[in-house]
Amino acid sequence: MEGAVDVLVNAVFHWSDADKAWLKNAFFSNGMGWLWEFLRDYLFNHWTWLFGLLPALLLERLRPVFSGRVFDRHLLMDGVYPFFNALVSVLATAVVVATIAEFYRSHVPFINTGLLDGKPLWLQAVGVFLITDLMFYISHRLLHEIRWFWYFHAIHHSQTRLNPLTTFRSHPGELVLKTIIRTIPIGVVGGEPSTWFVFLVLNNFWGYFIHANIRTGLGILGRVIVTPQYHRIHHSIEPRHFDKNYGERLVLWDWLFGTLYRGDEYPKTGVPDTAWIMETGSRPHELLRAYACQLAYPFVMIGRSVRGVLRGRTAHPPLE
């Protein structure tokens, strides 16, 4: 167990100077030096992530849904994902934000309302918060309702022991899909690209809380914001909970679009028929084997769907 922890910590936090220099040059050569400085000071600073994680871990110890766990293979598996997905997430977000903004500016400038352009940064922040939260809802719902998208998103739902690091358990293909969907409004309402980028990336810190093994619905506050209990319902294996509670920060969107589920319930979580992709141990080679299987999973499932269609029968049964 300790060996696996050491490997993960070294992989995520102990970069060589050559690695950092290469990445810095890549950002500056593409006119994104400001982004590098933000990443260097905050996202690539392990203290930022550790201090963001500690409150959720402490609350897990005080009010756990299921007790008795400190570190196990499930948490360690989720810890593998930041290492492999960090650059995919950050670079995909940066590239997509810049590309969409440039596309609208060059080809369809007439649809840009300029609603946020030139506004004080605090007002842009409020606007971006509401718009991105709506787009989080929309992208999340599409990941469930479009079958091939679901196969990528199923990796996130496969976790049977929710914990703060589960927020990172996402297939790289899902990260790209979500980024494309979530950044579409940039060309319509305008605003500083850096404001959009910060909100998209820092969403992970809220993800620590709502994925944690915490028995709380936050009382009356839970009527407004997403809580660990609320989000656990979304991850439930119970059919009555399917396609409910898509919201990630505000409950508002589920209420407006009829996907809200209320109830003081703490169900088990996971996805049926995914045992072959799950972690079976905490040693490095076991975690890497599971990660490779999870990367392959959506493509295996899409292949089965295609074969089913070509053979003139129903595609692989849905996995909800």
So what's the pLDDT on residue 1? 41
| Rounded (10°) angle between helices 121-145 and 147-157 | 110
Alpha carbon of 119 to those of 97, 113, 128, 180, 190: distances in Å?
19, 13, 12, 25, 10
* Positions of the chain with pLDDT under 50: 1-16, 18-19, 315-320
Alpha carbon of 233 to those of 160, 267, 292: distances in Å?
13, 7, 28
So what's the pLDDT on residue 130? 87
d(CA 299, CA 81): 18
CA atoms within 13 A of residue 10's CA, in its CB half-sphere: 7
So what's the pLDDT on residue 49? 63
So what's the pLDDT on residue 193? 62
Q: What is the largest CA-CA distance in the chain?
A: 58
Q: For the segment 156-176, what is each residue's pLDDT rounded down to a tens digit? A: 999 999 999 999 899 988 988
d(CA 196, CA 183): 8
So what's the pLDDT on residue 297? 96
The domains of the chain are located at 2-310
